[in-house]
Structure 1
């Protein structure tokens, strides 16, 4: 057990130049706290929580079996679910993870130029003699890698010079953490430090693409939309295909988020799509399922009205744009679920699956026990 400490950092004090592999940090407390967390990563097998632009990650050395096993232990996560490796620079990727003469496939060139650093993960082959822990790849022949844009994440990786395996910094199956307080709620006593860089901007995990296939495949929608992949990736990405949403229990997967229950609060989640203003659909669902005596909450998006049923005791707006809904989704699921009133059922209004909507609906469909379609 640890006495988990939340370490404050000032994001505005961190700067990376265009070609810099190390950050310039002007705030001494921020510099000290990031160095403290980096020391844990380089001098022990312990893991730490840290912010990225997508969600908070739980980081351990991707080169150490014991560190990666520590991630699985802290999260209580199945070990056949691969992890994403986070790097601070292309230089670090080539120097620490790839063979000296290996060239990153050119199919990724335009995507890397546009979205690194940022919420995009690519798949690369695992080569003979690779230093990456087999627990990162779940014994597969590819590994997933991205360069986060968040200054704290990138600084932690650069200062430690350690590529980090970093899944969600939550208890397995729980909603994704987008605040340091979410990490503390789930992992208090399981990890030594959490770097608190404030709220995450994107709110859903990175997009994962596989350019080793022909045609290339979008394995997981996320912070970079399918439309952006097609727009900026070049000719080969115009024909990108979508992976199936959920893999079978015995099926090997190449990216996180395709197996097992995900993103779920303790309360039951009921997802509604295509149900107009929601009044008729929710009233009917409450009546048919004898929920009149249950404590109900509603997270509405673009179309649902307010005060649509007297049994709803908590009501929140997720926002009117895809970006707002994406940023607010997991935070509000957690806020409502952890409300002292003790909510039993959370009704959530879905959205269309264009732009940010594809990633939003991917997460909601996995969080929901029931999906009502109008």
Structure 2
């Protein structure tokens, strides 16, 4: 099997938050680059949320161990709600707190353009309209949803200044748009509106008291009667195709489709190679599309299972293996 390809070093530009700097940042994002930018909360590491490869680069640059759902950022409410099935309560909260440090989780719209990787394969999206003229000007110029977790190596302190970003990510990203210190300095509040009652997934820049004044009581996932997961993506069934998945396959059987990585096993009539060159970034970007393709085409051809070749146990390989393990969960436990 081909060895995983290491990420290429980058020259990280520091851009001024003027018209030229904002235009350069927008062009980089539209071209699939990674650009950190300041919001009122913390600096986010932005990527075109419609581009699987760009989104995979975010996980790689951060050393993020799992494909957690990423918040997609928009310049205005209309752009944000075009991607989801907005409820009356969502519009009330948006009227009260957007632009601002509030993230809403809602069911995806049928025509949503946000990639499966940014949504972690879930039927919901996390959306936000951040405050600040520089941020909103950047998002408007990009003209696409921008996925942006905090711009720091995974597990490290979130950055509230451009220098913090460069200290952790210089050489891993294309640019940082320096708009000065962040006013709030803590991440946005996250509220899940995809359930029967609103659920507070993360406290943040909008206080619980202010939220309750608009929407009434909120459940906490640890206290909910159905024991909801504390964050999206924790349920084993989220990544499961209809065909059963066999992990760490070193041979492929006649009735199986093959999810390959690197050098392909011989004997498969239906193959999706995550990355012939053994790039974990490329494999991450192609994972969800590959599972969908092998599931639908495999069933059409009368195949009864998917064999997945081994994935390395480091870097993004850990996240890919996690999703494949969930995909292989027996239906009786979903």
Interval of TM-score (by shorter of Structure 1 and Structure 2) = 0.5 to 0.7
Partner of 1:109: 91
Residue 217 of structure 2 corresponds to residue 239 of structure 1: yes
Instruction: Give secondary structure in 1 for the equivalent of 2:45.
Output: strand
Q: Among 112, 134, 144, which residue is 1:162 paired with?
A: 144
- In 2, distance between residues paired with 1:108 and 1:92? 14
Instruction: Give secondary structure in 1 for the equivalent of 2:118.
Output: helix
- In 2, distance between residues paired with 1:198 and 1:118? 17
Partner of 1:92: 79
Instruction: Give secondary structure in 2 for the equivalent of 1:45.
Output: coil
Instruction: Give secondary structure in 2 for the equivalent of 1:241.
Output: coil
- In 1, distance between residues paired with 2:112 and 2:92? 26
Instruction: Give secondary structure in 1 for the equivalent of 2:127.
Output: strand
1:78-157 to structure 2, matched below 5 A, reads: 78-95=65-82, 97-98=83-84, 104-157=86-139
Structure 1 241/213 Cα, relative in aligned 2: closer, same or farther at 3 Å? same
Aligned length: 221
- In 1, distance between residues paired with 2:210 and 2:204? 11
Contact 1:49 1:58 in 2 (8 A): yes
Q: With structure 2 as the length reference, what TM-score do the two structures score?
A: 0.63
Structure 1 32/119 Cα, relative in aligned 2: closer, same or farther at 3 Å? same
Tell me how far 1:255 sits from its aligned partner.
Answer: 8.1
Q: CA RMSD in A?
A: 1.9
Q: With structure 1 as the length reference, what TM-score do the two structures score?
A: 0.56
Q: Among 26, 32, 44, which residue is 1:57 paired with?
A: 44
Partner of 2:24: 36
Partner of 2:261: none
- In 1, distance between residues paired with 2:34 and 2:102? 23
Higher relative contact order, chain-length normalized (CA < 8 Å, sep 6+): 2
Partner of 1:7: 15
Listed as ranges, the gaps of 5+ residues in structure 2 are 1-8, 224-228, 235-334
- In 1, distance between residues paired with 2:55 and 2:101? 22
Tell me how far 1:110 sits from its aligned partner.
Answer: 2.1
Tell me how far 1:90 sits from its aligned partner.
Answer: 2.0
Partner of 1:273: none
Instruction: Give secondary structure in 2 for the equivalent of 1:182.
Output: helix
Contact 1:206 1:222 in 2 (8 A): yes
Structure 1 115/94 Cα, relative in aligned 2: closer, same or farther at 3 Å? closer
- In 1, distance between residues paired with 2:233 and 2:23? 30
Structure 1: which 4+ aligned runs deviate by more than 4 Å? Answer: none
Instruction: Give secondary structure in 2 for the equivalent of 1:195.
Output: strand
CA deviation profile, 1:7-57 (whole Å, cap 9, x unmatched): 122xxxxxxxxxxxxxxxxxxxx0011000100111x22110100000000
